[in-house]
Amino acid sequence: MGEFVPVITLEELPTEGFKAVEINGRQILVGRAGQQVFACVDRCPHAKRPLRTGKLRGQNLQCAWHGWTFDVLTGHSIPDHPTFRLTQVPIKLEGSQVLVSLSAC
């Protein structure tokens, strides 16, 4: 799965929400949806625009550009359209540190 690198701590993440971080020149969203921590590429697969301006409601992230909604935990669009899925980034937690896989970045 590749090398994992630390990008943010749990304390730096909003309780319900996300932050954009840069890894190897790529923007990644790291956040929380309920008790789950997620990471995905900060690019709408439909509009090709940054998702960081969108709204997270539960585990659903709505793109501010065209209103498409995505499940941040599965990557699926809502309603599901196989062509338009979030690019998820593998993560792991070590204590309060959130690490992401460099192979996805």
pLDDT tens by residue, the chain, 105 residues: 579 999 999 999 998 899 999 998 899 999 999 999 999 999 999 889 999 999 999 999 999 998 999 999 999 999 988 889 999 999 999 999 999 997 866
- Check: CB of residue 30 under 8 Å from CB of residue 8: yes
HEC-encoded secondary structure of the chain: CCCEEEEEEHHHCCCCEEEEEEECCEEEEEEEECCEEEEEECCCCCCCCCCCCCEEECCEEECCCCCCEEECCCCCEECCCCCCCCCECCEEEECCEEEEEHHHC
Q: What is the model's pTM?
A: 0.91
